[in-house]
Structure 1
Amino acid sequence: MNKEPQYDLTLETPRLILMAGEQVLAYKKTITDELLNSADSLKKWVSFFNYNFDKAKATEFIDKTTDMSFNKQFLRYFMFDKETNTFVGSLVLQDIDLRLPSCEIGYWTVVSGQGKGYMTEAIQYITRYLIDTHQFARIEAYIDVKNVKSIDTIERCSFEREGTLKNSDLSADQSKLINEALYAITTPVYFK
């Protein structure tokens, strides 16, 4: 039986600090402000921004996703620009499966952080971290085929498109079926 891995709750890339857990609560106001400023832009692709997203929901989201006792199969990192300490986005590792080990990666950038390459930098770093430090064999992403920016980002990070899943999920607003592109990065598996 595999024991539960200890993930670093603070990671640093050249331009970013990625934080998880209760330490994020010190930045609750700036995160809340950026979430509220970006909700209209993000609701097309991220479902939780679609349900009357307001300050109370932003606070609930931050509290819930930083509670490490609650998070056994996912780990959410909040991303901050090192130079300005501004919140720029979020990256989540979900459906963590320690048997392989593997996970699904999800991500989004707030409006003020878009178009600056932050997410590409974060995904490349977290992918290398999971493979090198935790020996992950597979990291996958499911992306609405219409989300061209997200597809461009994951392809820049060397993820390979494995196929298209037809009618595999609902749109972020839950109004229609969507097709998803399945991307993955895998490592060789050696059995002893």
Structure 2
Amino acid sequence: MNREPQYDLTLETSRLILMAGEQVLAYKKTIKDELLHSAGTLKEWVSFFNYNFDEFKAIDFINKTTDMNYNKQILRYFLFDKETKTFVGSIVLQDIDLRIPSCEIGYWTVVSAQGKGYMTEAIQFVTRYLIETHQFARIEAYIDVKNSKSIQTIERCNYEREGTLKNSDLSANQSKLINEALYAITTPIHFK
């Protein structure tokens, strides 16, 4: 019988606290404020920041993504600076497939925290956590080929580019087809 893994809802790196689940609601105001402040910049790459992103949508996003029963195939970590407790970004694990096990990783950093290495630190930690604690065999990222900053980040985390998927998705604002770079990190497979 396959049991669902129990993911840690709090992880810590040297500079960050990563939180998932209802505990994040204690930081709802700071998250909302940073989301609203960053929406204009992030909407180029992240679709939910499009479509008149406002306070109501920010709060709805926080409420839905912290409800662990909302979708069992998605786990979203909210990232906070350890010293200041400010919200700096998010990592989402989606399309979790326990048969392999594998998932897709997605990420973004709020404007005030960009360029400080927070996301590289968080991705490296979460990747190690999934491989060492939950024996993930594959973690992949799909990135718009024009998003050079995101590509640089995932490459710093030692993900390997497996190829380019042509006309594979719509842009964040849903206005045109895009090509995506497929990156992955894999572990050796041992059959028993």
State the TM bucket, normalised to the shorter chain. Answer: over 0.9
* CA shift for structure 1 position 183: 0.1
Cross-structure match for 1:182? 182
CA RMSD, 1 decimal:
0.4
Q: Which residues of structure 1 form unaligned runs of 5+?
A: none
Shift of 1:52: 0.4
SS across alignment from 2:35: helix
| Ranges of 4+ aligned residues in structure 1 off by more than 2 Å | none
Deviation at 1:171, TM superposition (A): 0.2
Alignment correspondent of 2:101 = 101
CA distance in 1 between counterparts of 2:56 and 2:167 reads 33
| Structure 1 residue aligned with 2:33 | 33
- Tell me which amino acid in the other structure corresponds to 2:188: P
1:93 positional shift: 0.2
Please report the TM-score for the alignment, with normalisation by the length of structure 2: 0.99
Q: Which secondary structure state, in structure 2, belongs to the residue aligned with residue 180 of structure 1?
A: strand
Residues 71-90 of structure 1 correspond to what in structure 2 (within 5 A)? 71-90=71-90
Equivalent in the alignment of 2:154: 154
Residue equivalent to 1:116: 116
Paired amino acid for 2:159: F
Question: What is the number of equivalent residue pairs in this alignment?
Answer: 192
1:3-22 equivalences in 2 (<5 Å): 3-22=3-22
Cα deviation per residue 1:101-158 (whole Å; 9 max; x = unaligned)?
0000000000011000000000000000000000000000000000000000000000
What is aligned with 2:163? 163
TM-score (ref. length: structure 1): 0.99
Give the letter aligned to residue 15 of structure 1.
R
Find the aligned partners of 1:71 and 1:122 in 2 and give their Cα distance.
22
Partner of 1:57: 57
Distance 1:148 1:6 in 2: 34
Amino acid at match of 2:91: L
Q: Tell me the percent identity.
A: 84
Q: CA shift at 1:2, angstroms?
A: 1.9
Counterpart of 2:68 in structure 1 is: 68
Displacement of 1:71 in angstroms is 2.3
**Aligned with 1:129: secondary structure?**
helix
